[in-house]
Chain A
Amino acid sequence: MIKADHHLDAKGLACPMPVVKTKKAINDLEEGVILEVQATDKGSKADLTAWASSVGHQYLGTVEEGDVLYHYIRKGSDEPKVEKAFERIISFEELESRDGLILDVREGAEYAFGHIGGAKSIPLGELESRMKELDKDEEIYVVCRTGNRSDLAAQLLADNGFTKVYNVLPGMNGWNGKITKEF
């Protein structure tokens, strides 16, 4: 099951209600959180995909279970506007020939709909509490969607004594390799 911060029940509703309800629900949410929209309207997948890209949210994907479509949307596609501060950066090309752990710090739902095979998922918000799952002796390559959240994660790791940390740039939206899905 994919983790979402909020759930919206739009089951049984016909067009345009799933989109209208989604718009209303997302207004009250904070940037970056994941909304799950449950719908039975078969057109809702195409509609929500188009709607999200038109108003600036990130449509992650849809899972079908029986008659119900579970859509996942991340509010706002703009990443936090920070000056990237972490200096040790690496590209996907350079990464190919190296050993170590790829750490994916996007939200669980983003990871579920497409990540690099073998990457470990720890969302940025959980990194502090789950840091003990990581090995200080191992090289860690931190990746997110655009390189901003991974920049913050890399700084956090460095502040906590991890010395072999790299921020992977540009991030998953620049990744052309194989994608693993997992739900």
Chain B
Amino acid sequence: MMSEKVAIIAANGGLFDAYKVFNIATAAAASEKEVQIFFTFEGLNLIHKQGMHHLEMPAGKEHFAEGFEKANTPTIPELVEMAQELGVKFIACQMTMDVMGLTKEDFVNGIEVGGAVTFIEFAKNAAPTLTF
């Protein structure tokens, strides 16, 4: 029996990372899986109110901007909204927020703040658990 839970760890803050995280998350949620994403360290960029609008491509890969446009990919803020609409739960890492001096208000609405244990508890019977 396949698990009905998908656990994702978002630990990086670039544009490519964001697409990997949110494409898998929305696809899983659309397939009626229960999905949680744990945002930690640079991963917090992906749900930062301002930051998510200005995610960068890896150095030297900027020329892919045209490709994104041509493929008509949804923007990251659109994917964030879509994911939340589909019931994907976002958990921001408390420890990273403390280190970086961020508060819940710096992030999109509807997130939860928790520690690693919160996520581990969810992930213990999730399959797959993915790290980006």
Q: Which residues of A contact B (CB under 8 A)?
A: 12-17, 19-20, 22-23, 47, 51, 54-55
- Is B72 on the interface with A (CB-CB < 8 A)? yes
- Is B71 on the interface with A (CB-CB < 8 A)? yes
CA distance A20 to B79 in the complex (A): 10
Structural contact, A12 and B72, CB atoms closer than 8 A? yes
Q: Render B21-33 as a binary contact track against A, CB cut-off 8 A, 1 for contact.
A: 0010011001110
- Is B10 on the interface with A (CB-CB < 8 A)? no
- Is B86 on the interface with A (CB-CB < 8 A)? yes
CA distance A91 to B26 in the complex (A): 44
- For the A-B complex with A15-B23, A23-B86, A51-B30 known, give 8 more contacts whose Cβ atoms are closer than 8 Å: A12-B72, A14-B71, A14-B73, A16-B26, A20-B26, A54-B31, A55-B31, A55-B32
Structural contact, B32 and A16, CB atoms closer than 8 A? no
* 6 A-B pairs with least C-beta separation: A23-B30, A16-B27, A14-B73, A14-B71, A20-B30, A16-B26
Chain A: minimal CB distance from B12 (Å) = 20
Across the interface, which residues of A come within 8 angstroms of B31, CB to CB?
19, 23, 51, 54-55
The A interface is mostly helix, strand or loop, or mixed, namely helix
Structural contact, B72 and A19, CB atoms closer than 8 A? no
- Is B115 on the interface with A (CB-CB < 8 A)? no
Chain B: minimal CB distance from A152 (Å) = 29
CA distance A55 to B29 in the complex (A): 11
Given contacts A15-B23, A51-B30, A51-B31, contact A20 B73 (CB under 8 A): no
Across the interface, which residues of B come within 8 angstroms of A13, CB to CB?
72, 74
Chain A: minimal CB distance from B21 (Å) = 12
Structural contact, A20 and B32, CB atoms closer than 8 A? no
- Is B113 on the interface with A (CB-CB < 8 A)? no
Can you list 22 contacts pairing A with B, beta carbon distance less than 8 Å?
A12-B72, A13-B72, A13-B74, A14-B71, A14-B72, A14-B74, A15-B23, A15-B27, A16-B26, A16-B27, A19-B27, A19-B30, A19-B31, A20-B82, A20-B86, A22-B30, A23-B30, A23-B31, A47-B27, A51-B31, A55-B31, A55-B32
- Centre residue among A12, A16, A23, A55 by max chain B CB count within 10 A: A16
Structural contact, A16 and B30, CB atoms closer than 8 A? yes
Q: Which residues of B13-49 are within 8 A (CB) of A?
A: 23, 26-27, 30-32
CA distance A10 to B82 in the complex (A): 15
Across the interface, which residues of B come within 8 angstroms of A17, CB to CB?
74
Across the interface, which residues of A come within 8 angstroms of B73, CB to CB?
14
Across the interface, which residues of A come within 8 angstroms of B71, CB to CB?
14
Across the interface, which residues of B come within 8 angstroms of A51, CB to CB?
30-31
Q: Which residue of A is nearest B74, CB measured? A: A17
CA distance A160 to B27 in the complex (A): 48
Q: Which residue of A is nearest B23, CB measured? A: A16
Across the interface, which residues of B come within 8 angstroms of A23, CB to CB?
30-31, 86
CA distance A47 to B82 in the complex (A): 18
CA distance A12 to B74 in the complex (A): 11
Chain B: minimal CB distance from A67 (Å) = 13
